Amino acid sequence: MPDYDPQTIETKWQKSWEEEKSFKVEADPAKPKYYLLEMFPYPSGRIHMGHVRNYTIGDALARFKWMQGFNVLHPIGWDSFGMPAENAAIQNKSHPNTWTLANIKTMTEQIKRLGLSYDWDREIATCEPKYYRWNQWCFLKFLERGLVYRKNSEVNWCESCNTVLANEQVIDGLCWRCDNEVITKLQEGWFFKITDYADRLLEGCKDLEAGWPEQVLTMQTNWIGKSYGAEVDFQIKDSNEAIKVFTTRPDTLYGATFMVLAPEHPLTLSLSRGTEQASAIDAFIKEVKSQDKIARTSEGGEKLGVFTGAYAVNPLNGETIPVWTANFVLMDYGTGAIMSVPAHDHRDFEFAKKYDLPIRIVILPPDGNTNADDLREAMTDPGPMTQSGEFDGLAGDEAKQKVCEHLQSKNIGKATVQFRLRDWGVSRQRYWGTPVPIIFCEQCGTVPVPYEDLPVKLPLDAQLGDKGQSPLKSLDSFINVPCPKCKAPAKRETDTLDTFICSSWYFDRFTSPDEENAPFSKDANRYWMAVDQYIGGIEHAILHLLYSRFFHHVFRDMGLVETREPFAHLLTQGMVIKDGAKMSKSKGNVVDPDHIIGRYGADTARLFILFAAPPTKQLEWSDQGVEGSFRFLKRVWRLFDETATILREAPGDLDTGGDLPKELKELRRHIHTAIKRVTEDIDKRMQFNTAIAAIMEFVNHLYAFREWWTSQKESSADGQALFKESVETLILLLSPFAPHIAEEMWEQMGHSQPTHHTPWPEYNEEFLKADEIEIVIQVNGKVRQKLSVPAGIDEDSLKAQSLEDPRIREWTDGKEIKKVIVVPRKLVNIVVK
RNA sequence: GCGAGGGUGGCGGAAUUGGUAGACGCCCAGGACUUAAAAUCCUGUGGGAGUAAUCCCGUGCGGGUUCGAUUCCCGCCCCUCGCACCA
């Protein structure tokens, strides 16, 4: 009678799965497909509990889908370009490639010890030329489509990482990777025109409502930030020039009492020339430029401004209004200039009060008071226009529309939209990434590397500078190339591409990882995409998930993919925490997955992680909880092991002809209840914790049944058969969560087909019904009695029986019975007074 | 400030359509087995009163709807996350 020995069992089955290539799949139009994907890991060194949780959730689902008969694509790969490799290499005086490959090796071993159902034949690593050549291909194709451009601009710069960051990679003014403060810097670089797709990315969110968490969609929607409004031209006094502004409140145009330009706005400087404000403007521009961009753009920052010396004309009321410049107006949103309506905008109000500028109420307040002197704060609510000439009385969208029509008819403005989204800066001044496939030629200018010359290989013999400066800039063998057009000596671009490009289409590559003539095969893509279920951390809610959607939309325009969106369903798993905090080395609360697997086995680790919390919630690590899961698996093993003989001799089928004794009927009901609960918890609710709870309850019932059964003098063949059915069901229900122990028991039961190729058990509604059910009897909504009655009892008898019950009589005697509510199969509520 | 999600025993969490609040597990206590321990099994376990039967209270707080509310509505408090001078 061997004890449960996870190490032996797990080694045995992992070896078997690997040798048999148990989870290898091919596209097969005859079978329904299911593409399950976890966000592929960065090979940082060793796996942590967050990885374990991510992959365990995915694996449970994948195995379940296999058993449901789907052709399951469940791949894994490595997001293996990026800065940590460089930093580690500098520290260890090694090479990023060496470091990365060693980490992949270590982490592969660790992942394999978890018993995950991956198709390892599809493994990819983005740092391999056969992968990143297609990043370059995408770059060139996007360039052809006008979606890539180069510009000199103020960019986010991380001093510690020595590189540019995209807007999405700046979190609270800090670098997303190293938490260092981000500064702005003028830098030339490549941009992806993601703004061209702003509207479609926004609309796509609607397609995703059924499958994505609302939170993520809200974040994406806010990030794209579409605003409806109007562009309006304000004529500059005594000049032919106009200042173009964007406003979301054209209905407040009559209240525009001054204007504000961004300090960087070209008119700020030019308007002030020749006025007595010239020197003040010069000083102000200088001051704002030295001001930290983050501080400047954060709410509550002090609003500072200076009069430019110039005036403009309000196009609707003809009033002359002063033009100011101020730090809170940004050059890169809208037109870089605003009309200020202090009565109806918080910022304008604050600014007007500070610099004593006029305020005029043009939206009627609820109390009807239009005296601006009484205004304590800006009134930003919508309302009827007032003091606005012919528009008085119009309100809301109608008012805005009418004003826009008027502007348009006079050719001084029009309805328009603005987006908060900025183009995606993809140039990185670092080494360990995809080289940008561009050559600079003095004669021909910027020349794309011809497709047939791809990949532009990243030279692996380069030595990193000790501050992370890219060695490419000084590597003559890399830089010096003939111009593809004129063959004259030219120079390669030395920037590399943002690693987020690698992860923006890897899921497409998984459909045909060995494709040599394209980033992926269209046929394979058509069969496998979209990803049916994507699983990963919420930290990618904007970054990776937005970029991937952008790529997918472009691919669709290129005719490479057919689905509208790449990820049909998204699950954002919660964090793993311990002692109330995220696991981290600095806090010393890290639990090493290897340690847990070594001590209890992968099945215990998996079971605990799935049982401790629903997948989307954060999970508090508990060593005692792990003990509990281990104890449960031992309990399952014992149940199986101690009855192995009985199970082996059991007849295959139940002799259903005879009426079963009560205990057997009960057992059968427990089997089918367990199947129903586990199936629905996985499939409909994705709530593994309750699925496992249902299995635990089932096991408790099996123990109770076994005790009753072994106490019987004679054991019936039906009992034996049903017990066998119970244990086999248990094994199958358990197998997505704890696959090794399940597989071992399954084999010992005499099955040659592995569990993941065995159909998922089905329940029979008929067997879910009990003969006797418990009905709760309430008096005035309080539970006073519980009755066991036949399941088929009719309402009237139930009602009568309830009213006659002695204990209920104690509450109802001498009182007037106002009403009796009967909820079939559940309760009776007697209302008395 | 705006948006989203939360608040249930000592702890993690259940309650799926308005119908027995606390499933399942952890912790803890008691018992069985054992020379003993470990392992295992059994019992108990929201709070209060009571020998007990049983009763009262109880899902952040205050109200409401309802025969009945963790669930729906109104107001408030607190926590987490995201956005945040975006005109």
A623-667, pLDDT tens digit by residue? 999 999 999 999 999 999 888 877 777 776 766 656 788 888 899
What Å value separates CA A67 and C1' B85?
A: 55
**For residue A492, what is the enclosing H or E element?**
strand A489-492
Q: What's the rounded Cα separation, in Å, for the pair A14 and A109?
A: 11
* SS3 letters across A580-642: CEECCCCCCCCCCHHHHHHHHCHHHHHHHHHHCCCCCCCEECCHHHHHHHHHHHHHHHHHHHH
- Any strand B atom closer than 7 Å to A27 CB: no
Q: How far is CA A571 from CA A78, A211, A620, in A?
A: 20, 9, 19
pLDDT tens-place string over residues A745-759: 999 999 999 999 999
What Å value separates CA A60 and C1' B19?
A: 34
- Any strand B atom closer than 7 Å to A692 CB: yes
* SS3 letters across A671-705: HHHHHHHHHHHHHCCCCHHHHHHHHHHHHHHHHHH
pLDDT of A657 reads 58
What Å value separates CA A778 and C1' B56?
A: 16
Q: What's the rounded Cα separation, in Å, for the pair A667 and A726?
A: 8
CA A662, chain centre distance (Å): 50
Specify which residues A246 forms β-bridges with: A231
pLDDT of A175 reads 80
3-state secondary structure of A543: helix
Residues 6+ positions from A51 with CB-CB distance below 8 Å:
A41, A111, A593
pLDDT of A13 reads 97
Q: What is the DSSP letter of A39?
A: P
- Any strand B atom closer than 7 Å to A415 CB: no
- Any strand B atom closer than 7 Å to A112 CB: no
A669-673 average pLDDT score: 94
Number of other residues whose CB lies within 10 A of the CB of residue A775? 20
pLDDT tens-place string over residues A91-127: 888 899 999 999 999 999 999 999 999 999 999 999 9
What Å value separates CA A421 and C1' B72?
A: 39
Burial class (CB in 10 A: 0-12, 13-18, 19+), A92: exposed
The two tokens of residue A16 are 């078997």
Q: What is the DSSP letter of A385?
A: B
* DSSP track, A650-666: S-SS--TTSPPPHHHHH
pLDDT tens-place string over residues A532-556: 999 998 888 888 999 999 999 999 9
3-state secondary structure of A478: helix
What Å value separates CA A692 and C1' B24?
A: 8
What Å value separates CA A571 and C1' B65?
A: 36
- Any strand B atom closer than 7 Å to A767 CB: no
- ipTM rounded to 2 decimals: 0.95
- Any strand B atom closer than 7 Å to A345 CB: yes
Which of the nucleotides lies closest to A680 (Cα–C1')? Answer: B16
What Å value separates CA A782 and C1' B52?
A: 22
What Å value separates CA A798 and C1' B23?
A: 27
Q: How far is CA A659 from CA A544, A644, A655, A664, in A?
A: 60, 27, 9, 10
The two tokens of residue A316 are 């609707």
Query: Measuring CA to CA, which residue among A235, A404, A399, A389 is closest to residue A317?
Result: A389
User: How does strand A570-573 pair with strand A581-582?
Assistant: unpaired
Position with higher pLDDT, A122 vs A804: A122
3-state secondary structure of A420: coil
Which of the nucleotides lies closest to A170 (Cα–C1')? Answer: B83
- Any strand B atom closer than 7 Å to A229 CB: yes
- Any strand B atom closer than 7 Å to A246 CB: yes
What Å value separates CA A622 and C1' B10?
A: 15
Q: What's the rounded Cα separation, in Å, for the pair A142 and A145?
A: 5
Strand B-proximal residues of A, range 739-758, CB below 7 A, are none
pLDDT of A111 reads 96
Which of the nucleotides lies closest to A219 (Cα–C1')? Answer: B82
Residue nearest to nucleotide B26 (CA to C1'): A625
Query: In the block, which residue shows the tokens 């106490």?
Result: A711
pLDDT tens-place string over residues A188-209: 999 999 999 999 999 999 889 8
What Å value separates CA A635 and C1' B40?
A: 9
Query: Measuring CA to CA, which residue among A559, A432, A452 is closest to residue A502?
Result: A432
What Å value separates CA A614 and C1' B19?
A: 26
Amino acid making up residue A560? L
Query: Measuring CA to CA, which residue among A776, A730, A731 is closest to residue A755?
Result: A731
pLDDT of A299 reads 66
Which of the nucleotides lies closest to A638 (Cα–C1')? Answer: B40
Query: Measuring CA to CA, which residue among A783, A777, A780 is closest to residue A818?
Result: A780
Specify which residues A649 forms β-bridges with: none
Q: What's the rounded Cα separation, in Å, for the pair A784 and A78?
A: 61
- Any strand B atom closer than 7 Å to A244 CB: no
Strand B-proximal residues of A, range 172-191, CB below 7 A, are 172
Report if pTM > 0.90.
Answer: yes
pLDDT of A376 reads 85
- Any strand B atom closer than 7 Å to A774 CB: yes
The two tokens of residue A338 are 């605003």
Residue nearest to nucleotide B41 (CA to C1'): A703
pLDDT of A379 reads 87
Mean predicted lDDT score pLDDT of chain A: 91
- Any strand B atom closer than 7 Å to A614 CB: yes
What Å value separates CA A418 and C1' B21?
A: 50
End-to-end CA distance of chain A: 65
Which of the nucleotides lies closest to A776 (Cα–C1')? Answer: B20
Residue nearest to nucleotide B12 (CA to C1'): A612
- Any strand B atom closer than 7 Å to A219 CB: yes
Strand B-proximal residues of A, range 633-652, CB below 7 A, are 634-635, 638
A395-411 average pLDDT score: 93
What Å value separates CA A278 and C1' B82?
A: 42
Contact A525, A563 (CB under 8 A): no
pLDDT tens-place string over residues A419-466: 989 899 999 988 999 999 999 999 999 999 999 999 999 999 888 877
Residue nearest to nucleotide B82 (CA to C1'): A219
3-state secondary structure of A545: helix
- Any strand B atom closer than 7 Å to A416 CB: no
A699-A702-A707-A711 Cα dihedral, nearest 10 degrees: -170
3-state helix vs strand vs coil in chain A, percent to 5:
45, 20, 35
pLDDT tens-place string over residues A331-353: 888 899 999 999 999 899 999 99
Cis peptide upstream of residue A615 (ω within 30 degrees of 0)? no
CA A722, chain centre distance (Å): 45
- Any strand B atom closer than 7 Å to A302 CB: yes
- Any strand B atom closer than 7 Å to A420 CB: yes
User: What are the backbone dihedrals phi and psi of residue A309, each rounded to the nearest 5 degrees, phi first?
Assistant: 95, -10
Q: What's the rounded Cα separation, in Å, for the pair A234 and A318?
A: 10
Which bases of chain B come closer than 7 Å to a protein CB?
Answer: 3-5, 11-16, 19-21, 23-27, 39-42, 55-56, 67-69, 81-87
pLDDT tens-place string over residues A16-34: 999 999 999 999 999 999 9
* Stretch among A19-23, A642-646, A763-767, A819-823 having the lowest mean pLDDT: A642-646
Q: What's the rounded Cα separation, in Å, for the pair A594 and A111?
A: 10
- Any strand B atom closer than 7 Å to A381 CB: no
pLDDT of A1 reads 52
- Any strand B atom closer than 7 Å to A682 CB: no
Query: Measuring CA to CA, which residue among A41, A118, A28 is closest to residue A74?
Result: A118
Which of the nucleotides lies closest to A228 (Cα–C1')? Answer: B87
What Å value separates CA A291 and C1' B80?
A: 33
Residue nearest to nucleotide B20 (CA to C1'): A776
Query: Measuring CA to CA, which residue among A77, A69, A70 is closest to residue A35?
Result: A70
**For residue A132, what is the enclosing H or E element?**
helix A129-144
Query: Measuring CA to CA, which residue among A218, A266, A262 is closest to residue A241?
Result: A266
Which of the nucleotides lies closest to A775 (Cα–C1')? Answer: B20
Position with higher pLDDT, A87 vs A136: A136
- Any strand B atom closer than 7 Å to A87 CB: no
- Any strand B atom closer than 7 Å to A222 CB: yes
pLDDT of A332 reads 83
Residues 6+ positions from A419 with CB-CB distance below 8 Å:
A195, A198, A224, A225, A226, A227
A364-382 average pLDDT score: 86
Which of the nucleotides lies closest to A331 (Cα–C1')? Answer: B86
Strand B-proximal residues of A, range 470-529, CB below 7 A, are none
Which of the nucleotides lies closest to A818 (Cα–C1')? Answer: B67
The two tokens of residue A695 are 């299995």
Specify which residues A447 forms β-bridges with: A439
User: How does strand A33-38 pair with strand A782-790?
Assistant: unpaired
